[in-house]
Amino acid sequence: MSRVAVTGATGMIGRAVCAGLFERGDTVLALSRDPARARESLGDGVEAHAWPEPGASPPPAAALAGADAVIHLLGEPIDQRWSDDAKRRIRDSRVLSTRMLVAGLRELPDADRPAALVSQSATGFYGPSDARELDERAPGGSDFLAKVVDAWEAEARAASGLLRVAETRTGVVLSPSGGALAKMLPFFRAGIGGPVAGGRQYVPWIHLEDVVGALLMCADSRQLDGPVNVTAPAPVTNGELSRVLGRVLHRPAVLPVPALALRALYGEMSELVTTGQRVIPKRLLDAGFEFRHAALEPALRDVLGQ
């Protein structure tokens, strides 16, 4: 039984991680701007601590001292139109909160400091790519999101002299309650979904249950430090994702969505959909991680209850 501190605990991934920790008997220490909301969302079993200004001050020592690991999931949603103000929030919510978290960890006595920091990251690190397979050794990109992820990971790595640090580069998470799939579902259910921008770009997808399993393994396993790709072992193209999703929903999925239309609707953020990365979770596989949902169609059927 472990004590695990979780930031971003009330988000889509955070709630699932907390549920996974509870299931195996761990104590969850949720760091939240609103502890009462965290307790309401996560249940009475959570130990909620106030962290009112994650970008301006370290979390309270009581929330970290004696924890075995920290899973850091805090960050402004990326799937929004990228105005200048939104870009600032996206960057600062990740970079500054991680900086403050590391400052809090540094202030702890050695005996009270957690053994591991699992700092959420993103496959956006690699930038728009072609069909080449990208494992954790691949270089980073140069677009806005790649630069944000690089700065985000650098703040986490600053703690590497204090404790083990894993930067989990998570892909497109399959969940009906949030993320890319939730935005796609209304169109596909109405029979007006289809491949985007030609459909040849790769989608580094992963089932939410496997995200949880990977994050918990990174918290527990001493061999997992540095960047760890958190994606399914068989990425697919956008075109294949569209066909499979249409088949699972028993709806046609043939109406192409032009890149220009997405650009008009979402601006620069549309690049997340019109470009892609063929990301491979080499380090998870080498560590013996067993995916529960390694193939796309069964994963979608599980997520959608089909």
Predicted confidence (pLDDT) at residue 177 exceeds the cutoff of 90: no
Q: CB-based burial of residue 288 (10 Å sphere; 0-12 exposed, 13-18 middle, 19+ buried)?
A: exposed
Q: DSSP letters along 72-88, please?
A: E-----SSS---HHHHH
Taking residues 281-305, what's their average pLDDT? 98
For residue range 178-237, what is the model confidence (pLDDT) as tens digits? 888 888 899 899 998 999 999 999 999 999 999 999 999 999 999 999 999 999 999 999
Predicted confidence (pLDDT) at residue 263 exceeds the cutoff of 90: no
CA distance 8 to 62: 17
pLDDT (0 to 100) of residue 78: 92
Predicted confidence (pLDDT) at residue 266 exceeds the cutoff of 90: no
Under the banding of pLDDT at 50, 70 and 90, the label for residue 267 is confident
Domains parsed from the chain with CATH numbers: 3-171+208-231+280-288 (3.40.50.720)
pTM of the model: 0.96
Under the banding of pLDDT at 50, 70 and 90, the label for residue 255 is confident
SS3 116: strand
Predicted confidence (pLDDT) at residue 120 exceeds the cutoff of 80: yes
DSSP bridge pairs for 48: 30
CB 9 within 8 A of CB 38: yes
pLDDT (0 to 100) of residue 212: 98
DSSP bridge pairs for 173: 206
CB 116 within 8 A of CB 218: yes
- The two tokens of residue 186 are 């209304």
Kindly report the average pLDDT of the chain as a whole number.
Answer: 95
